[in-house]
Structure 1
Amino acid sequence: MSTLRGIVSLLLLTLTTLLWGLPLLAMTLVKLVTPGHRLRLAVLRVLNAIALNWIGLNLWWMRRWLRPQLEIEVPEGLSRRQGWLVLSNHRSWTDIFVLFFALHRRIPMPRFFLKRQLIWIPIVGLAWWALEFPFMRRMTAAQRARHPHLARRDQEATERMCQRAREMPIAIFNFVEGTRFTPAKHDAQASPYHHLLRPRAGGVAQVLGLLGDQLAGILDVTLHYDNPDPTFWGYLCGREGRIVMRARRLPVEAWMPGSDYQDNPGDKERFHAWINALWHQKDERLSRL
């Protein structure tokens, strides 16, 4: 029965993607030929509205068909008219929909940092490109040292997103570990945390340095699954069990805007200390859960 539920869920997800993907693709073509910055910005607002409707329709059928066991806590005072930085641990593709359940239309249209390979997903990859999601290369420190021009392209993608955020409010979502948690990855990293991988500070630092003065705050999200090995397929089959999402609001500290993570060793050390302390607190919360 759960497998049949999963097949139906995949069919519904495909249908909603086609339903909203086709007008989104049409508006993408319009955006490509639209002259002038202001007009392209207006087209992007239409694309955002289409994407929000796609998300909303998926949440509607998931609530009624999958009935996920969600325990969600979010802070008061969220606004769609202000920018936010959302930081979260990462367990499964299901995380994205849990965040949508909690934050959809409470904060602006989200932007995720995505792996470059995801741009090749039919319809969805082009939609992410049209919506100006930043596509990033997954590189080790050694690879960045050997190919600094590629690392610079990632920085430029973040800069473009931050520049857009100065023109219209967006919510920047960052899975700070850079990949989904597994015990094998945890052991390979020799992670100092019980339930988390090591956080990566670079993207967070760049966003806060460039855009910190424009953000209403930072949302620190902790995700916990009762299932020790959660998968998106298990979620679509309705057998994922209880999922807990806790979000708390943090201020953008005075030293963050204008900081230079790349070229100032003091700023780099400060960001590492800040995010490591944040991750220790998150690890303690996960232990209690």
Structure 2
Amino acid sequence: MDAIMLNKIRYHMVGVISAIALVAHTMLLGVFLFAAILPKLVMPQKVVQHLVDPCITFISSMWLEGILWWINWVYQPKWNISGADQLNMKDWYLLTANHQSWVDIFVLYQLFHKKAPFVKFFIKKELLYVPIVGQAWWALDFPFMRRYSKEFLAQHPEKAGDDIKETQKACEKFSRKPSTVMNFLEGTRFTSDKHKAQKSPYKHLLKPKAGGIAFTIQALGDKFNALSNATIVYPGHTPTFWDMMCGRIDHILVEVNSTPIPAHFSQGDYLNDPALKEEIQNWVTELWQQKDLDIERLLSQHARSIKARNPQFAKG
């Protein structure tokens, strides 16, 4: 049996062990989570807010810390992080990032966990039914979004705007205490096929969508001081979730930039003001143009660093 086959077997064995550990870890903490969810269903809102929600956040943090410990101490990826050292637990953060893989979520938690309020993502409604994890997201007040196709809306025009109402309703809860709200502007994970289908003008990105982030800004007014814009780069290859489980993660490059949010964005009516809608979309487009350049720069810097550490590679 050659070395390549042995490496494949070893990686898959690590993946199976990791999967078993993840399921066991999730089920163990899931017992405590459901014990906390039951009071959330029946107790008054004030009691839930001051007693139950902190318990749910603590349990979810324990689950997350177990996964991050496994990633960092078993897989030992090489992190190169910049710009995430000015965070605190008492501020509101609006966070966005390029989206390539489920691994992105754990990368963002690596950056923000225990440095800022618990990161909450906009999630597709269908993921509510993922066992334990879906219920945890619900208990943590993650905003679940139901996106309707143009064909469905043509047949059911009364549903138009429901996604906006859900965004605004979710953001009302975020306004009560410091929160970190995450929105992937691309709306889906990057793939070459999607990139070609979109005819994306960017080399490394899909086209950004401004709607979700615009409604979040308008719902939370001036709570956000700035946009935390994370650029995530995986040199070599983009790891899938199974790659992560198998430990096939090498270098992870992350750069976080703080971008001011124009004050008037929170005052207008994005849905009914074409000029404001165009201005916010242009703002998002400029962010994405710069992010595309940043990804290229980070890849080039990493390649030069590898060559500097390996002169024989540079000669080849």
* TM-score class normalised by the smaller sequence: over 0.9
Q: Which runs of 4+ in 1 moved over 2 A?
A: 74-77, 137-153, 227-230
How many residue pairs match? The answer is: 288
* Runs of 5+ unmatched residues, structure 2: 1-9, 300-316
Q: Which moved more, 1:179-188 or 1:249-258?
A: 249-258
Residues 211 and 71 of structure 1: CA distance in aligned 2, closer, same or farther (over 3 Å): same
3-state secondary structure, aligned to 1:259: coil
Gaps of 5+ in 1: none
Q: Do residues 71 (structure 1) and 80 (structure 2) align?
A: yes
Distance 1:146 1:284 in 2: 41
CA distance in structure 2 between the aligned counterparts of 1:239 and 1:274, rounded to whole angstroms: 36
**1:49 alignment partner AA:** F
Kept in 1, the 8 Å contact 2:147–2:163? The answer is no
Deviation at 1:73, TM superposition (A): 1.6
AA matched with 2:61:
L
- TM-score with structure 2 length normalisation? 0.87
Alignment of 1:154-193 (within 5 A): 154-193=163-202
- Structure-2 residue corresponding to 1:125: 134
Q: Tell me whether 188-197 or 205-214 shows the greater mean CA deviation.
A: 205-214
- Cα gap change, 1:145 to 1:249, in 2 (>3 Å): farther
Q: Contact 1:210–1:258 (CA<8 Å) still a contact in 2? A: no
Percent identity of the aligned residues?
39
**1:244, 1:145 → 2: CA distance?**
43
Q: Does the 8 A contact of 2:84 with 2:111 survive in 1?
A: no
Verify: 1:8 aligned to 2:17, yes or no.
yes
Aligned to 2:60: 51
Q: Do residues 203 (structure 1) and 241 (structure 2) align?
A: no
**Counterpart-to-counterpart distance in 1, 2:233 and 2:280:** 25
TM-score (norm 1): 0.94
- In 1, Cα distance between equivalents of 2:109 and 2:180: 12
Answering whether residue 107 of structure 2 is matched by residue 101 of structure 1, we say no
For residue 38 of structure 1, report the CA deviation from its aligned partner: 1.0
CA contact (8 A) 1:93 1:231 kept: yes
Distance 1:113 1:165 in 2: 12
2:210/2:280 contact within 8 Å kept: yes
1:162 and 1:150, CA in 2 relative to 1: closer, same or farther beyond 3 A?
A: same
| Partner SS, residue 213 of structure 1 | coil
User: CA separation in 2, counterparts of 1:134 and 1:69?
Assistant: 32
Give 1:207's aligned amino acid. T
